[in-house]
Structure 1
Amino acid sequence: MGASFKDYHFQPFIDDAIKDLGFRNPTPIQTKVIPTIKHGKSVIGKSATGSGKTHAFLLPIFDGLDLNKEDVQVVITTPSRELAYQIYDNAKQIAKFSDKTIHIGNYVGGTDKERQVEKLEREQPQVVIGTPGRVWDLVKNGDLEIHSAHQLVIDEADMTLDLGFLDTVDEIASKMAEDLQMMVFSATVPPKLKPFLKKYMKNPVMNDIPTKTVINQNVSNWLISTKGKNKNDLIYQLITMGEPYLVLIFANTRERVDEIYNYLKQQGLKVAEIHGGMQPRVRKRVMKQIQNLDYQFVVASDLAARGIDISGVSHVINDDIPTDLEYFIHRVGRTGRNGMKGIAMTLYAPGEEQKVSELEKMGIKFIPKEIKRGEVVDTYDRKRRMKRKEPKNKLDPTMIGLIKKKKKNVKPGYKKKIKRAIKQKSDEDRKIEVRNQIRARKKQKKRSSQRYQ
């Protein structure tokens, strides 16, 4: 029998929050991480989006808060504003079941810093959630006092590194308590991240949840070859078939997001777009509209795959295979959640066979599909040619050519004519050779006689 949340002996208000969330049993990452955090050990949780990692750290952290102390006890950093808002909402859901008020501060760029400073002068939060830049800005100016905090969570650590925020997180960590319990969550642990981890973590517990355990079984992965067709038109066909509840369309670049968004708008669809180049206020407003289901179709960059939790996504479409294949897991992880069925459709060009093969090596199983007469239908496995057995004695091209010639209709007496022609040519060549030899001897004899006269 699997683990149960009762095994962790949480405080009653935590149990109430879990019941309210509708969680039945802990996910693999929660099973491995929660006991480690409760024992005060530093941990590295390597797991993809959709694995339940946010509650893997929030539940034990809130369970261990000293609600009689009104100072900062934990700092949670995340590389994107959207993800910070998401964690903040999850934290508030847990906190509302506590008899005592739990003060939670949410600090991200693009928000009113002056108001945050004024509130910090009145009271310090017990839980800090935010993006590294804004959190550090408040700390270095003396507004946010984190020296009392013994727990630091770095969520999406590889993305934090990619976006250049790791040095800022390093500054934050240096201002916290010496006996720091660090919790690092990341889809991957790149080599450049390791020196930072060694600096702050002594013998951390490493929990690596394999990809296959976090690709939801409720998600059907369709693979659709573009076959040189216009991708904008293919996407339009796919999202207008049937009645999808909410479709997330992922593209590799901001420019491509804009292109798909504009095309779908021109077709008369009500569509939203989300990418890192948008103004923070605009992005926040659009996200709120998406959460309120004002849009049925959303075109997004990979920022959304890592930093946004949109409930009710029925379909995910990959306009392209992401350059970083790990992002594929994050994209697909947006659908098939909370026991619901989901469909992920991936468009690929003939030249992307290698990328598809690499995804398959990661444990992803594709179902080959194609659009026929306005419907998505099963099609042949793209590897069917490779799976055919080669003949044991393969003929060389010359022999194949001769066989093909034999199959052609031949006129009567054709072979005899050829033989006669060859013999005739041979006889002529021989006569010419003999004639040339006689001429040569005559010339030689004439030169010799002239020499002795």
Structure 2
Amino acid sequence: MSTTFESFQLTESLQQGLKKIGFREPTPVQIQVIPTLLAGRDAIVESQTGSGKTHAFLLPLLSMLEKGHEFPQLVITAPSRELAAQTHELAKQLLEASGEEEWQMSLFVGGSDKERQIEKLHHQQPDIVVGTPGRILDLISSAALRVDHVRFLVIDEADMTLDMGFLKDVDAIASKMPANLQTAVFSATIPDKLQPFLRKYLQQPQQIILAPKTVINPDVDNWLFATRGKDKADLIYKLLTIGQPYLALVFANTKQTVDDLTDKLKADGLKVAKIHGGLEPRERRRVMKQVENLEYQYVVATDLAARGIDIPGVSLVINYEIPKDTEYFIHRVGRTGRNGLDGTAITLYSPEEESRVSEIESLGIKFTPKALQKDQIVDSYDRRRRTSRTATKEKLDPKMIGLVRKEQIKRKPGYRNKIKKAITRDRQQKRKIDARQEQRAVRKSHKR
């Protein structure tokens, strides 16, 4: 018998709201998290983006809000403005569909008008706070936002919060809250550096780990392209224009690379949007709105977009550069192949990045080698074919390898026979050494 939302002790209004927004069956993360939080337990949830984790904490915590409170009851932190705005929008949609619009909710992120927020807080405190750690801490430090009566704290994308250096801010925020606070931490992974914080603030937490069935959506084709000294920007242009993708995301590791690649593609006649942390918040919001409205077919971005932005309709993802952290590869590729649709992810690599490719493959990801020939994408050969062939041969000592190379260079008559004889002598010598070692081992065992 499948679990339904009706089996949870959610408020009737939220149950009705779920039906209005088309939620029929809970996801695996929701099945485990909702009862845990409703029971009043702290939770550490290890779950991937796109698993439904936002509603996993919104539904139970919104159900437990109490009327008549003057100060915030629920605080949700997210490491980026986009993630915070996305959570705020989902909560707003849920409350409106449920007819629970009397709950006051505020979004506090960097780049917005801080003075206006302070003035508004002096008049009224919201029931629900969603925001970035830096801005929330600023408002607390300004004696504008009251968190001394908060009942629930959610730290979303905790690993990203740690990576971006915001964990100290979250620590400072949590330290201002009551000791009987119920805390839920959501993260794609739980790094060791996160453990001291978890031990400090969570009381006997329920650990919920939901590993994805596959690291990468099976509907996504992962293609691997060797650059082999080619101009990468030219290669990107050809890959973008060959198949005419519905919406393509190109990822680079730095803001400067995004700027340079965007300029190059624009010069080649493509209408390209760029998204990275160096843009003003208002500009980023404007560009995102244009992308969502399909005013752009091509987007060049840093990993900010991979973790913090959910753009519908992405049919192609290209890794212009392999990310420094393999986890970001998962988040990049995860932007495509959503909602039952197929997707393609292309990764460019150079010979010196062989180890990086192998590192990604160790996660269980399988690449299909491809190449560009006469402006057509064709199947290529496995980059490890030489390694595989070499591995089948018996290894020789470095001296023997040197001899082989010398003789091949000289190319004198009879060099093949010389090499064979040298190899035979080498093997005979090894066998003698092995036999002597075995005899010594036998003599030692007899003495004992």
TM-score, normalised by the number of residues in structure 2: 0.84
- Name whichever of 392-401 and 38-47 sits farther off: 392-401
Match of 2:295 in 1: 294
Deviations for 1:298-319, whole angstroms, at most 9, x for unmatched residues? 1111111111121221111111
Does the 8 A contact of 1:212 with 1:363 survive in 2?
no
Please tell me whether the aligned partners of residues 212 and 364 of structure 1 are also in contact (alpha carbons under 8 angstroms): no
Over 3 Å counting, the alpha-carbon distance change for 1:47 and 1:100 in structure 2 is closer
Aligned-partner Cα distance in 2 for 1:97–1:71: 24
What percentage of aligned pairs have identical amino acids? 54
Q: Which moved more, 1:192-201 or 1:22-31?
A: 22-31
Cα distance, 1:118 vs. partner? 3.1
Q: Distance in 2 between matches of 1:223 and 1:110?
A: 38
Q: Is residue 189 of structure 1 aligned with residue 190 of structure 2? A: yes
Could you report, residue by residue, the CA deviation over 1:402-442 in whole angstroms, capped at 9, with x for unpaired residues?
A: 9994599xxxxxxxxxxxxxxxxxxxxxxxxxxxxxxxxxx
Name 1:131's counterpart in structure 2.
132
Deviation at 1:386, TM superposition (A): 3.1
Contact 1:67–1:100 (CA<8 Å) still a contact in 2?
A: no
For the 8 Å contact 1:211–1:363, the answer to whether it is kept is no
- With 189-198 and 214-223 compared, the bigger mean Cα shift is at 214-223
With over 3 angstroms needed to count, the CA separation of the structure-2 counterparts of 1:241 and 1:71, relative to structure 1, is same
Aligned residue in 2 for 1:411: none
Q: What secondary structure does 2:97 align onto?
A: coil
Give runs of aligned pairs for residues 304-453 of structure 1, distance below 5 A: 304-388=305-389, 390-391=392-393, 405=413
Q: Deviations over 1:170-195 (max 9, x none)?
A: 12112222211111112222222211
Q: Aligned in 2, Cα 1:164/1:3: closer, same or farther, shift over 3 Å?
A: same
Counterpart Cα distance in 2 of 1:125 and 1:100: 14
SS in 2 for 1:184: strand
CA shift at 1:83, angstroms? 0.9
* CA positional deviation for 1:94: 0.4
Partner residue in 2 for 1:423: none
- 1:20-72 CA deviation, whole Å, 9 max, x = no partner? 44445433333332222222111111223223222222222222222454531
Residue by residue over 1:192-249, the C-alpha shift from the partner in whole angstroms, topping out at 9 and shown as x without a partner, is 2211111101221222233554532222222111122111011111111222111111
- Match of 2:145, SS? coil
Any residues of structure 2 matched to 1:113-152 within 5 Å, and which? 113-152=114-153
AA aligned opposite 2:85 = Y
Partner of 2:84: 84
- Whether contact under 8 Å (1:75, 1:128) holds in the other structure is yes
SS of the residue corresponding to residue 270 of structure 2 reads: coil
SS at the partner of 1:299? strand
CA distance change for structure 1 residues 225 and 50 in 2, over 3 Å: closer, same or farther? farther
- Against the structure 1 CA distance between its residues 391 and 130, is the aligned structure 2 distance closer, same or farther, given a 3 Å change threshold? closer
Distance 1:173 1:288 in 2: 33
Instruction: Tell me the residue number matched to 1:95.
Output: 95
Distance 1:100 1:279, change over 3 A: closer
1:153 aligned partner, one-letter code: V
Larger gyration radius, structure 1 or structure 2:
1
Decide whether aligned partners of structure 1 residues 17 and 294 sit closer, same or farther in structure 2, where only a CA change above 3 A counts.
Answer: farther
Structure 1: runs of 5+ lacking an equivalent: 409-453
Evaluate the alpha carbon distance shift between residue 20 and residue 196 of structure 1 in structure 2; reply closer, same or farther with a 3 A threshold.
same
TM-score, with structure 1 as normaliser: 0.83
Confirm or deny: 8 A CA contact 1:248 1:298 kept in the other structure: yes
**Is the Cα–Cα contact under 8 Å of residues 215 and 364 in structure 2 kept in the other structure?**
no
Q: Provide the rounded CA distance (Å) in 1 between the counterparts of 2:336 and 2:273.
A: 18
- Matched residue type, 2:363: M
Indicate if the aligned counterparts of 1:247 and 1:313 stay in contact, CA closer than 8 A: yes
1:240 aligns to what SS in structure 2?
A: helix
Counterpart in 2 of 1:168?
169
Structure 1 pair 364–23 and aligned structure 2 pair: CA distance change class (3 A): farther
Q: 1:174 to 1:391 in 2, by over 3 A?
A: closer
Query: Aligned partners of 1:196, 1:379: CA distance in 2, in Å?
Result: 48
Contact 1:49 1:329 in 2 (8 A): no
Q: Which residue of 1 aligns with 2:53?
A: 53
For 1:234, the equivalent position in structure 2 comes to 235
Matched AA of 2:233:
N
Letter in 1 for 2:88: Y
Distance change >3 Å, CA 112–CA 165, structure 1 → 2: same
The equivalent of 1:224 in structure 2 is 225
User: Does the 8 Å CA contact 1:211/1:362 hold for their aligned counterparts?
Assistant: no
The number of aligned residues is 408
Partner Cα distance (1:204, 1:183) in 2: 8
After TM superposition, where is structure 1 displaced by more than 6 Å over at least 4 residues in a row?
Answer: 392-395
Q: Distance in 1 between matches of 2:262 and 2:151?
A: 45
Say if 1:75 and 1:151, in contact at 8 Å, map to a contact too: yes
Cα RMSD after superposing both structures = 2.5
User: In structure 2, do the counterparts of structure 1 residues 291 and 361 end up closer, same or farther at CA, with 3 Å as the change threshold?
Assistant: same
